[in-house]
Amino acid sequence: MPEETRTRPLSAIGRIRRAKEFWIFLFLLAIYVFLLILKPQFRSPDNQLIVVRQFSWIAIIAVGMTMVIITAGIDLSIGSVLALAACSMGKLVEHGMNVWLGVLAALAIGATCGFLNGLAITKLKIPPFIATLGMMAMARGATLIVTQSTYSILPDALVESVGRGTWWGVPVPVCIMAAVAVWGAILLRHTTMGRYIYAIGGNEQAAALSGIRVELVKLVVYTLTGFLAALAGIVVAARSGSAQPTAGIGSELNVIAAVIVGGTSLMGGEGSVIGTIIGAAILGIIPCALILFFIPADWQYIAVGAVIIIAVALDRLKKR
């Protein structure tokens, strides 16, 4: 095996070919080219950007979820936190708060929920699955209580600028997604904090014995994910023009699926933001492809489920 005798860092091309992101990117590219050839209406950049805009909110949360899963954790609460943040913003603004202060309040609420997740996991030593399952129920309950199960109409200022607005011709939600992804990729790959995150997922005990403040890193990671869930909630609400108490139900599964398809291991210690964005794109483009081929929408779930299983199965086979 050439790998056994390697003594220098891989060349750029070698690294790209070895990365598992490369293969899922090829898969995405294949679907994309397939649609370009067979469906003329897919060829307009505007239509393509609409597809990206549709999965952008999933991708925004998935960046945080990637970090959580790399630490060998999970966050099931993001869908409820998204709704709580967006609906609290809606009600605060309805009661006269400035809309941008409402946005800040939503982000603070999301970060707080994430921080509480982190506290439950690190201080109460509750497994992440259970701690965030509890938060999932409580944040949804809080949303229903705060809103009395009613939705709020959001002011035009937010809807026009964030929901329908564009920067340099690119929809604002896509710009936000791109900014979050670039920031997340730099954090994971090029900062000390990123190395701590991989180290904790790779071997938590060894990380602690190397002097890493494991609890603090986990707190940061869950807080960031709560923050990003709120950011996604603002994007979703601004897109639809209203904050719905049922927003984000079931979205935790889509977010986790994007991360898994993107090559991040649920066992922790490996994964990347680039892979996650590609994963979100694959899961976002499939419904679009089905619609373009007039396949009934109910088949989406079958297709998405199959992609998740095939992606992980291929990864396993390659590792053998």
Q: What is the contact surface with other proteins in residues (CB under 8 A)?
A: 3-4, 6-10, 186-187, 190-193, 195-196, 198-199, 202-203, 205-214, 216, 220, 269-270
Nearer to other proteins (CB atom), residue 43 or residue 190: 190
**Residue partners of 198: CB distance under 8 A and separation at least 6:** 70, 188, 269, 270
Nearer to other proteins (CB atom), residue 149 or residue 210: 210
CA torsion, ordered 67, 71, 74, 78, to nearest 10 deg: -30
Is 113 strand, coil or helix? helix
Nearer to other proteins (CB atom), residue 139 or residue 274: 274
**CA 291 to mean position of chain CA atoms:** 24
Nearer to other proteins (CB atom), residue 184 or residue 279: 184
CA atoms of 245 and 141, how far apart (whole Å): 10
Nearer to other proteins (CB atom), residue 7 or residue 41: 7
> Within a 10 A sphere around the Cβ of 125, how many other Cβ atoms?
8
Rounded to a whole number of angstroms, the minimum distance from the CB of residue 201 to other proteins is 8
Contact in structure between 280 and 57 (CB atoms under 8 Å): no
Rounded to a whole number of angstroms, the minimum distance from the CB of residue 219 to other proteins is 11
154 token code pair: 């959001």
> Within a 10 A sphere around the Cβ of 26, how many other Cβ atoms?
10
CA atoms of 198 and 190, how far apart (whole Å): 12
CA atoms of 227 and 68, how far apart (whole Å): 13
Nearer to other proteins (CB atom), residue 150 or residue 265: 265
Helix (H) or strand (E) holding 121: helix 99-122
